[in-house]
Amino acid sequence: MAEILVGEVDDFDQDTRVIVEWGTNHEVGVLRVGDEFFAYSNRCLHQGGPVCEGIVIGKVNVNLDNEKRALGRTFSTTELHIVCPWHGWEFDLETGQCASEPSLRLRKFPVKVDDGRVYLVV
Ligand code: FES
């Protein structure tokens, strides 16, 4: 295993994405949400879009009545998704699991924070 220095913790705000080139033709996106860092392959499982460059939003929940009619939507504050900017496929931020195709999962990489520095572990 190798550690790649990605930057200082303070370099990351909620909208920062650092794309790390790794190996041949491979990119990993590192992002920060709150105090946590996440890293995933930056290749969407739909058509290869730069998924890690998408926005992070709460999972959309549709509220139904007893007859299964939609009463409106709410956004989860605990389950977050990253949304691919090409066609909107959503992936669970914690696991990388695709929301619409649960058998698909983005490749996740460990992130290590040490002495104020962020490292991608590959
Ligand atoms: S390439 Fe990501 S949603 Fe299509």
Instruction: Break the chain into its structural domains and give their ranges.
Output: 3-121
The answer, as to whether pTM is greater than 0.85, is: yes
**Å from CA of 65 to ligand 1 middle:** 32
Ligand 1 close to Cβ of residue 51 (< 6 A): yes
Please give the single-letter amino acid code of residue 100.
S
**Å from CA of 14 to ligand 1 middle:** 22
Residue range 3-121 forms a domain whose CATH class is mainly beta
CA-nearest of 62, 64, 46 to 54 is: 46
From first to last of its 122 residues, the chain has per-residue pLDDT tens of 899 999 999 999 988 899 999 888 899 999 999 999 999 999 999 999 999 999 999 999 999 999 999 999 999 999 999 999 999 999 999 999 999 999 999 999 999 999 999 999 99
Q: What is the pLDDT of residue 15?
A: 81
Displacement of CA 51 from its chain's centroid (Å):
7
The atom number, within ligand 1, closest to the CA of 44 reads 2
Q: What is the pLDDT of residue 22?
A: 85
